[in-house]
Amino acid sequence: MTDWTQQTDTARNWFENLRDRICAEFEAIEREAGSEANFRYDSWSREEEGNSDPGGGTRGLMKGKVFEKVGVNVSTVRGNFAPEFAGTINGASAENPGFTATGISLVAHMANPHVPAVHMNTRFLTTGKAWFGGGADLNPPIPYEEDTEQFHARFRAACSAHNPTYYERFRKWADDYFYIPHRGVHRGVGGIFYDHLECEDEAAFERNLAYTKDVGEAFLDVFPSLVRRRMETEFTPEDKQTQLEWRGRYAEFNLVYDRGTLFGLKTGGNIDAILMSLPPEAVWS
């Protein structure tokens, strides 16, 4: 396996920088709403038998007036996949199970049902290959067409700056991925999802890192504006019930189909960090 240590550090530094700016912006929104809520940060260390440097991460969690529950995780882990899992990962195998992974993962569940929930993550992995992946998708219990259009337009612009095919390809990938087969519905109104943007050399790494950075910047630009637009909207008990039922669908997807959840569990990640994506309250009618 090629030594991508320097590139992993570069990506990790970017993810941590993005985390800090996102959390500061979310705390600023809480201040605007008259709340003193702040992120609480808990560090964790991964354990793997025979591995003296398995890595770990930091989970940031805030529960406030606007953000009922928002988690922002950054982790950098390294080690070996279990043989039966290695074959499912790009570039890994039972004979070559080594990996490193660094990334940021965010999920926000909102107090007001008119404010969309959201998911965003970007990551850099190395096995026998090295690649970037990630994306963001909007999950409104009560959809607004202008919010959906603004969200997609911002990511369309980020994609188009790098490759004219990216947006349509990655939008469709998100539509196909964030789908709940047993319900016959999508998890939300989509976004973008990409994986296996491979880095054959340093030039490819820099190119794919630049795109991944723009995905993060697009999220930081568009989502806070949607929150501010809707966070003071009055809502009814029926609106809240709609939100709670929708959260049940969200939980079903993450527990049954989400690859990130499975990856975290299979690589010995922090359980609380992995499951921070689950909503604080949900119902099944």
Q: pLDDT band for position 1 (50/70/90)? A: low
Residue 119: per-residue pLDDT = 98
176 Cβ contact list (under 8 Å, min separation 6): none
- Predicted pLDDT of residue 83: 83
Largest CA distance in the chain: 57
State the pLDDT at residue 52: 77
Q: Write down the pTM of the prediction.
A: 0.94
At residue 239, does pLDDT exceed 80?
yes
Section 108-118 average pLDDT? 98
How far is C-alpha 247 from the geometric centre of its chain's CA atoms? 17
Residue 269's pLDDT band (cuts 50, 70, 90): confident
What kind and span of H or E run contains 120?
strand 117-126
| pLDDT at residue 132 tops 70 | yes
User: What 3-state class would DSSP assign to 125?
Assistant: strand
Confidence of residue 114 (pLDDT cuts 50, 70, 90): very high
Catalytic residue among 109, 114, 119, 152, which? 119
Q: What is the pLDDT of residue 48?
A: 82
pLDDT in tens, 13-59: 999 999 999 999 999 999 999 999 999 999 999 888 888 788 999 99
Average pLDDT over residues 255-263: 90
Q: Which residue has the higher pLDDT, 98 or 191?
A: 191
For residues 257 and 183, what is the distance between their CA atoms, to the nearest angstrom? 12
103 and 15 Cβ atoms separated by less than 8 Å: yes
Coil, helix or strand at residue 228: helix
Average pLDDT value for the chain: 95
pLDDT above 90 covers a percentage of the chain that reads 82
Residue 119 annotated among the catalytic residues of the structure: yes
Q: Is the pLDDT of residue 105 over 80?
A: yes
CATH, domain range 5-132+199-277? 3.40.1500.10
Choice among 80-89, 117-126, 158-167 with the minimum mean pLDDT: 80-89
User: DSSP state, 250?
Assistant: H
Parallel/antiparallel/unpaired status of strands 40-45 and 179-180: unpaired
Quick one: pLDDT at residue 96? 87
Higher pLDDT, 270 or 246: 246
Pairing mode, strands 55-62 and 185-186: unpaired
SS3 call for 235: coil
pLDDT band of 266, cuts 50, 70, 90: confident
Look at 142 and 266; give whichever has higher pLDDT: 142
Residue 241's pLDDT band (boundaries 50, 70, 90)? Answer: very high
- CB of 218 within 8 A of CB of 107? no
Condensed to tens digits (0 to 9), the pLDDT of residues 187-220 reads 999 999 999 999 999 999 999 999 999 999 999 9
- Indicate whether 168 pLDDT > 60: yes
pLDDT-above-70 percentage for the chain: 99
- DSSP H or E run through 94: none
Give the pLDDT mean for 106-110.
98
